[in-house]
Amino acid sequence: MNITANNPTRKTWLEVSKDSDFPIQNIPFGVFITKDDIITIGTRIGDFAIDLGALHQLGYFSEIPLTDDIFLQDSLNDFIADGRKTWRLVRNRIAELFDMTNGELRDHTSHRTDVVFGIDTIEMQLPVTVGDYTDFYASKEHATNVGSLFRDPKNALMPNWLHVPIGYHGRSSSIIPSGTPVRRPMGQSRPLEGTNTPGFGPSKLVDFELEMAFITTAANNLGERIPIEETEEHIFGLVLFNDWSARDIQAWEYQPLGPFLGKSFASTISPWIVTLDALEPFRVDNPRQEPTPLPYLQVEGKKSYDIHLQVGIQPENEKETIVANSNFKYMYWTMAQQLAHHTVNGCNVRSGDMMGSGTISGPTKDSYGSMLELSWRGQNPVPLNDGTTRKFINDGDTVIMRAHCENKDVRIGFGDCTGKVLPTLV
Ligand code: CA
């Protein structure tokens, strides 16, 4: 089916600024509460939120086989479970309805009032109920940097890393939408030199991890695997993902079983899911993989995406400083490989599952996706515009992540993914 929603020449009758993350070619999906306290599924064009529940009730999706209450829900899980054909029909129909030349809704004042709201009047929620959250470790630069810092620069990459898309099962209950504050976690840390008792208190090394996460549909039954060439059929879309980390807690706890409380206190996501369909024009060549992965991880075609990523730190009452610029295309393992690997043992993936990419670091020092790497574990403090420096994140700091794709025709963005660190609760 044609993705007519991606037509780069289409213009909308809504006013959209040129640098908006949400032109009519984006049409992301999210969940919000209206000013009348109604929760609904919606989309966004420019600075307008569009109530898909109301649109459906008014009959604007009558040509598409959808259940009556598909958009009158507090999560996108059921809509995502309807599959890619339905996602495409709905996105194409929204594009058509808001096309400059279409008067159906534009010229129906009362319907328009029921459906289109200013973005400032709504409150974004989590877009999906996340059953399971998996976090990969797919940036070679990041894995090499962390291996150098935590273990041994000469053997920074573990011997399995170039063969296995490494991942672990994370915590979904603490995934929160952009704007939700994050409490500095309490925890244990490595005993000081010459002592046997671990430290305990508020983490001193709170960090961000610049990631993206993809959201799946119900893809396979338990015991079945997804062949790699079919994986993208089951990916609904992506969000920005800040996988907050407490490095002191992590360093003490992570052996032998991996990350635990150093990671599970919070992960912030951008609230609009940008569909994989909308990212279609931004496919780029996959990174060269040497050695060649096993056959179940080999795939033809471009499975990487050119998505510019940025991180800023804004201290309380100060202006923001951009501390990192990276790109999603730096991922060594693609989403297709990650999903094929995730299910190769027969593990079933469900609608609304979230798969973090792992921290996305680029090849240069200003493209690292965490303070651990940017400050090289505190050895090179990062200067901010207000004259202070940061080794890690202070109380009162807001971390702001952004992502967008751009070509000569269109810019598709994700909106902000922000979180402010608050002092530990006492
Ligand atoms: Ca992570």
CA 357, CA 240: separation in Å to the nearest integer? 10
- Cα(375) to ligand 1 centroid in Å equals 18
Strands 354-356 and 133-136: parallel
Do 83 and 138 share a domain, yes or no? no
Of the residues 90, 124, 158, which one is the last residue of a structural domain? 124
Angstrom distance (rounded) from CA 321 to CA 311 = 9
**Percent above pLDDT 70 for the chain:** 100
Q: How far apart are CA 343 and CA 387, in angstroms?
A: 49
**203 shares a domain with 67:** no
Q: Which domain holds residue 88?
A: 4-124
Whole-number Å distance, alpha carbon 79 to ligand 1 midpoint, is: 27
Are 153 and 213 contained in the same domain?
yes
Give the residue-averaged pLDDT of 25-54. 97
32 with 145, same domain: the answer is no
Boundary of a domain, candidates 105, 124, 143: 124
Task: Assess whether 181 and 32 both reside in one domain.
Answer: no
Do 111 and 258 lie in a common domain?
no
Percent of the chain surpassing pLDDT 90: 98
| Strand boundaries in 151-307, DSSP class E | 167-169, 175-177, 182-183, 186-189, 199-202, 206-207, 210-216, 235-242, 245-246, 267-269, 274-275, 283-284, 304-305
200 and 228 part of one domain: yes
Q: Which of 99, 124, 149 is the last residue of a domain?
A: 124
Reply yes or no on whether the pLDDT at 150 is more than 90: no
pLDDT tens per residue, range 83-131: 999 999 999 999 999 999 999 999 999 999 999 999 999 999 999 999 9
Residue length, the chain?
426
Catalogue the E-assigned strands of 229-293. Answer: 235-242, 245-246, 267-269, 274-275, 283-284
211 CA distance to ligand 1 centroid (A)? 7
CATH number at residue 220: 3.90.850.10
Q: Are residues 96 and 217 in the same domain?
A: no
pLDDT at 151: 84
**Token code pair at residue 403:** 């992502």
* Contact predicate 285/302, CB 8 Å: yes
Please say if the pLDDT value at position 426 is more than 90: no
- Indicate which residue of 56, 142, 234, 404 is catalytic: 142
Mean pLDDT, rounded, of the chain: 97
C-alpha of residue 12 to centroid of ligand 1, in Å: 38
Distance from the CA of 260 to the center of ligand 1, in angstroms?
11
pLDDT band at 189 (very low <50, low <70, confident <90, very high): very high
Catalytic status, residue 56: no
When divided into structural domains, the chain yields a total of: 2
Task: Tell me, yes or no, whether 180 and 306 share the same domain.
Answer: yes
What is the value of pTM for the model shown? Answer: 0.97
Same domain, 286 and 230: yes
Q: Are residues 14 and 147 in the same domain?
A: no
Q: Are residues 205 and 242 in the same domain?
A: yes
State the CATH number of the domain containing residue 59.
2.30.30.230
Q: How confident is the model at residue 140 (pLDDT cuts 50, 70, 90)?
A: very high
Q: Ligand 1 centroid vs 276 CA: distance in angstroms? A: 21
Q: What's the whole-number mean pLDDT along residues 211-234? A: 97
Ligand 1: centre distance to CA 359 (Å):
6
* CA–centroid distance, residue 6 to ligand 1 (Å): 31
